């Protein structure tokens, strides 16, 4: 690993750290170390990182702002690439915006609303990055990324880059082609928005933010919704009806505000969260015969 670090430092690709605790980079404040943690300072440097990864046959995964992510207490083997300030560019051309994968989704939604552009109001409280939002087709309030994305620029693990159209992204509920069939990193996205009344758009943004503050526990470290909704049912409602709100294991606790949120109530471990997830799954199946699956990504060493 020492040789690889020297090689990366020679290439001057950005920040390179060994054994960086991922608890420092996830919204749940949980996660062991990454063997190698890299924050590329540009798209070109991200491509150089992928070249080194391929050359040495290293395992890798990309993260954005660390939401929707539960990292093992034992950390992640190989390389973790964080898309941040080096990949957060933004261009506005009429109602079309091109934005880097490392850009904060909340910040983008706020900025765009003030420009009088409609279409991103649903994202006003989603605490992830643009790249992560495209990767998982993030959504809320009856809309999602698939409704506004024109195309995504993706870096694949073989080092090639390709623009994928909305259709080629094969979006479905909280899913895209990048999650299984074609693993890759969303370097930038192009969104097609609509001109609208600035005051009305800002008001809707604020309404969505207020709703989240009133119904979701963002004052505690959490990863967002833990389970996918087993439609026509809703995970949070099933958990609440089962009497599980407030139930805890170790430092992990089911939020008393929203049944589909698990919060880090104090020094929670990934093992605590996983045990609680399993308890919820078992309880819901035993009571209602409904299988619920996680929306949060569970990654790292077993």
* Catalytic position from the list 77, 174, 182, 228: 174
Residues 6+ apart with CB under 8 A from 182: 154, 156
Is 167 among the residues known to form the active site? no
214: annotated active-site residue: no
- Residue 174 among the catalytic residues: yes
- Of 84, 146, 225, 255, which residue is the catalytic one? 225
Residue in 39, 121, 188, 295 annotated catalytic: 295
Indicate which residues carry an active-site annotation.
174, 225, 295
């Amino acid at each position: 690993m020492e040789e690889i670090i020297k090689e990366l430092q020679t290439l001057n690709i950005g920040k390179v750290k060994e054994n960086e605790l991922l608890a420092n980079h996830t919204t749940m404040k949980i996660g062991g170390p990454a063997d190698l943690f890299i924050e590329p300072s540009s798209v070109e440097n991200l491509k150089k990182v992928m070249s080194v990864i391929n050359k040495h046959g290293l395992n890798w995964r990309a993260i954005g702002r660390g939401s929707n992510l539960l990292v093992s207490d034992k950390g992640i083997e190989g390389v973790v690439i964080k898309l941040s300030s080096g990949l957060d560019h933004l261009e506005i051309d009429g109602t079309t915006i091109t934005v880097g994968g490392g850009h904060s989704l909340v910040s983008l939604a706020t900025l765009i609303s003030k420009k009088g552009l409609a279409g991103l109001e649903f994202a006003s409280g989603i605490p992830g990055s643009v790249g992560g939002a495209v990767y998982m087709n993030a959504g809320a309030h009856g809309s999602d990324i698939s409704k506004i994305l024109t195309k995504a620029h993706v870096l694949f693990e073989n080092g090639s880059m390709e623009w994928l159209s909305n259709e080629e992204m094969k979006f479905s509920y909280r899913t895209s082609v990048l999650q299984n069939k074609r693993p890759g990193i969303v370097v930038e996205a192009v969104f097609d928005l609509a001109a609208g009344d600035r005051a009305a758009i800002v008001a809707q943004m604020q309404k969505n933010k207020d709703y989240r503050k009133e119904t979701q526990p963002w004052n505690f470290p959490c990863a967002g919704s833990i389970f996918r909704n087993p439609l026509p049912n809703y995970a949070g409602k099933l958990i609440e009806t089962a009497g599980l709100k407030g139930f805890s294991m170790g430092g992990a606790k089911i939020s008393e505000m929203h049944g589909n949120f698990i919060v880090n109530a104090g020094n929670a471990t990934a093992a605590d969260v996983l045990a609680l997830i399993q308890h919820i799954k078992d309880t819901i199946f035993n009571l209602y015969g409904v299988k619920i699956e996680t929306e949060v990504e569970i990654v790292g060493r077993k």
